[in-house]
Structure 1
Amino acid sequence: MNKSFTKERDGDEDDELRLPAIPAGAKNYITPTGHARIRVELLDLIDNQRPRVVEAVYWAASNGDRSENGDYIYGKKRLREIDRRIRFLTKRLEVMEVINPALHYGAEQIFFGATVTYLQGDELERTVTILGIDEADSAQGQVSWVSPIARTLLKNRQGDVLQLVTPVGVVEIEVVSVDYPSS
């Protein structure tokens, strides 16, 4: 086939190709803190970053030849990245459902927003906080509510012994404590 009729990918594809997946029919749950953080990022992109880049691109374009103008080429690429991120955040905010985990403060049952400490095996103790897909950071002990560990923990209680399915087999875990942030 002639190469002139094939679509080349230049890496500028929509971010939706790399979105964390939301299960079909499920809502995109998020805490009030996560929702506020995403709104702040969106507003910063719209009010601060995008106007600065547009100004730089305008200045670079006024310098003449655009084909070899690094400022212009980089600025246009950065503008596409910002616009793509704005579209992504706008779409995500439209489908988010804000859930305040403080509503369950003092409860022993595990729901969205809980910080759960569990024993894996006999001696390995781990603590995770169950958060939304768009706010979970595994480096900080946060897991998304659709992750295998969160799905295993949800709706169970302190003291329950559960079966966690992992790639290496089934592991027994025991819920040691359940905590929620206070309001």
Structure 2
Amino acid sequence: MRTPLITREGYNQLKQELEHLWRTERPETTKKVTWAASLGDRSENADYQYNKKRLREIDRRVRYIRKALERLKIVDYAPEQEGKVFFGAWVEVESETGEELKFRIVGYDEIFGRNDYISIDSPMARALLKKEVDDEAIVRTPEGEKTWFINSIEYPKG
């Protein structure tokens, strides 16, 4: 089960996506389906079939976002978080081999399309929670345990 948390920015992005899909994309696609249906034989009409499929995808995404917005809890920055890794933090870590990573710990619904975000439910995020700069975190991976050292922790203010 996913932890139902989201940052304020992530929540606003989901709301914007819902608004765009519902107010812009869905009406346009519905017009295309209606137009294509008026041309006659729907079984061989690529415009009709494609746009009907797209309409189902839009409706599925709209349902998902609406349900998600109801269940998700927005987590805003709090000054008490400073100095430790919590939800919403930008964390820079370094492995024993010198590999460096920088990412933000966010909710599941925010990680798609971003290489610099990781889910709060990921093994890395779980290992880092409540740690401070210079602490080490042991992350269990399919290849075995890996040790990471925390170089910096930042929170977006705003």
State the TM-score, normalized to the length of structure 2. Answer: 0.91
Using the alignment, how far apart are the partners of 2:20 and 2:119 within structure 1? Answer: 25
Give the C-alpha shift of residue 139 in structure 1.
4.9
1:23-56 Cα distance to aligned partner (Å, 9 max, x none): xxx4x11111111111111111111111111111
**Moved >4 Å (runs of 4+):** none
- In structure 2, the partner of 1:142 is 117
3-state SS in 2 of match to 1:71: helix
- In structure 1, the partner of 2:38 is 62
Q: Quick check: 1:132–1:144 contact (8 Å CA) kept in 2?
A: yes
Percent identity over paired residues: 39
Q: 2:13 aligns with which of 26, 37, 62?
A: 37
Label 1:130 to 1:138 Cα distance change in 2 as closer, same or farther (>3 A).
farther
Label 1:138 to 1:89 Cα distance change in 2 as closer, same or farther (>3 A).
closer
State the TM-score, normalized to the length of structure 1. Answer: 0.79
Structure 2: gaps of 5 or more residues = none
Using the alignment, how far apart are the partners of 1:65 and 1:122 within structure 2? Answer: 63
1:79-103 Cα distance to aligned partner (Å, 9 max, x none): 11111111111111111111113x2
AA matched with 2:152: S
Query: Is the deviation greater in 59-68 or in 127-136?
Result: 59-68
Give the C-alpha shift of residue 159 in structure 1.
1.9
Structure 1: gaps of 5 or more residues = 1-20
Task: Name the count of aligned residue pairs.
Answer: 158
AA matched with 2:32: A
